[in-house]
């Protein structure tokens, strides 16, 4: 029988593993003793995010587009075939999925199908990274997993929203039709080191602007809210889901809600910046509120976030400051 030091998984395949969140998953899995194959086509991921892992005997980088069939039958070292597939490949910021609309839809459909096929071939546990965007501009607040959402299927955000919603449907059908061991996590606004300053999301945009003493561009009147989860907390939640037998979906996020105007002011203060706030036009279909009900994650996964906004944002600002200096 394995002892407490035995990793839960022998070999994990992480699609989108060179992205912001995927690279943190790769790092944590390796630290826990799991061999990792990182699959990425680098349309938004960056080689620098996993540069610290290259040369690790239990890490392999597979450049591949998941919209085409792929495999990782052997794994790095003597890991053997994968027993965990984490499907995190997808453009995830508005700037990226609006630039890559067809690829976003294909990654959510064809990419999910191919990642599921990989898990089925090897009898692996499969976890899909879905999103709070599945709730659209919600009419239920906070959002629980039983809420079906309020999504505009032909709006500018639909390429991402509907790709993820289709991925959820495909994952659910796979489990029913083939008995594949699947799980779905709906992630809420994760932030932290390794985000790209120009990816269009609020935290990296505000941090970049604050460190350059530029005006922070707050959309609309800034009263729209988000719930921000520090990346370490999100990774813990994802891996707790992977180690469970839940199918989900399960919300993984921080229920501490904040307005975009308050977020901008907080980042200015934490960065010691002289920046002001400048209001700009709010994007079409931008959700008015976003806050997860995490009752299911707390009860079934014994998971809850523990890094508060001040600590998480301070760590993020420090990383951006060091990265800019480098």
Nearest to 53 by CA among 67, 66, 34, 70: 34
Catalytic hit among 97, 135, 160, 191: 160
Nearest to 314 by CA among 239, 203, 187, 237: 203
- Rounded Cα distance between 20 and 40, Å, is 12
How many CB atoms are located within 10 Å of the residue 30 CB?
A: 20
Asked if residue 196 lies in contact with residue 204, where contact means CB atoms within 8 angstroms, the answer is: yes
Q: What's the count of helices (H) and strands (E) in the chain, helices before strands?
A: 10, 13
Whether 160 is catalytic: yes
Distances in Å between the alpha carbon of 140 and those of 41, 175, 270, 287?
36, 28, 32, 12
- Rounded Cα distance between 40 and 314, Å, is 29
- Rounded Cα distance between 261 and 198, Å, is 19
Burial class of 255 by CB neighbour count within 10 A (0 to 12, 13 to 18, 19+): middle
Number of alpha carbons in the 13 Å side-chain half-sphere of residue 222: 14
- Rounded Cα distance between 20 and 319, Å, is 13
Q: Which residues are catalytic?
A: 160
């Amino acid at each position: 029988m394995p002892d407490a030091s035995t990793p839960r998984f022998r070999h994990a395949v992480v699609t989108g593993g060179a992205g912001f969140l995927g690279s943190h998953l790769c790092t944590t899995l390796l630290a826990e003793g799991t061999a990792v194959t990182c699959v990425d086509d680098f349309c938004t991921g960056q080689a620098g995010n996993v540069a610290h892992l290259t040369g690790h005997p239990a890490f392999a980088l597979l450049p591949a587009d998941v919209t085409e069939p792929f495999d990782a039958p052997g794994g790095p070292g003597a890991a053997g075939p994968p027993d965990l597939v984490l499907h995190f490949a997808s453009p995830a910021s508005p700037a990226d999925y609006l630039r890559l609309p067809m690829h976003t839809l294909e990654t959510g459909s064809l990419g999910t199908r191919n990642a599921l096929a990989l898990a089925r071939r090897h009898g692996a546990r499969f976890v899909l990274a879905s999103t709070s965007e599945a709730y659209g501009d919600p009419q239920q607040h906070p959002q629980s997993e039983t809420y079906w959402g309020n999504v505009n299927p032909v709006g500018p955000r639909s390429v991402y929203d509907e790709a993820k919603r289709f991925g959820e449907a495909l994952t659910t059908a796979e489990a029913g039709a083939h008995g594949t061991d699947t799980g779905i996590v709906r992630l809420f606004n994760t932030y932290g080191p390794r985000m790209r300053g120009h990816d269009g999301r609020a935290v990296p945009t505000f941090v970049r602007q604050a460190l350059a003493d530029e005006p922070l561009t707050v959309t609309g009147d800034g009263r729209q809210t988000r719930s921000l989860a520090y990346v370490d907390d999100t990774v813990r939640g994802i891996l707790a889901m992977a180690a469970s037998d839940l199918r989900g979906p399960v919300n993984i996020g921080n229920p501490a809600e904040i307005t975009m105007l308050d977020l901008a002011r907080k980042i200015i203060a934490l960065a010691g910046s002289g920046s002001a706030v400048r209001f700009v036009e709010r994007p079409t279909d931008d959700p008015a509120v976003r806050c997860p009900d995490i009752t299911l994650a707390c009860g079934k996964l014994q998971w809850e976030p523990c890094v508060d906004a001040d600590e998480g944002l301070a760590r993020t600002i420090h990383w951006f400051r060091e990265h800019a200096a480098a």
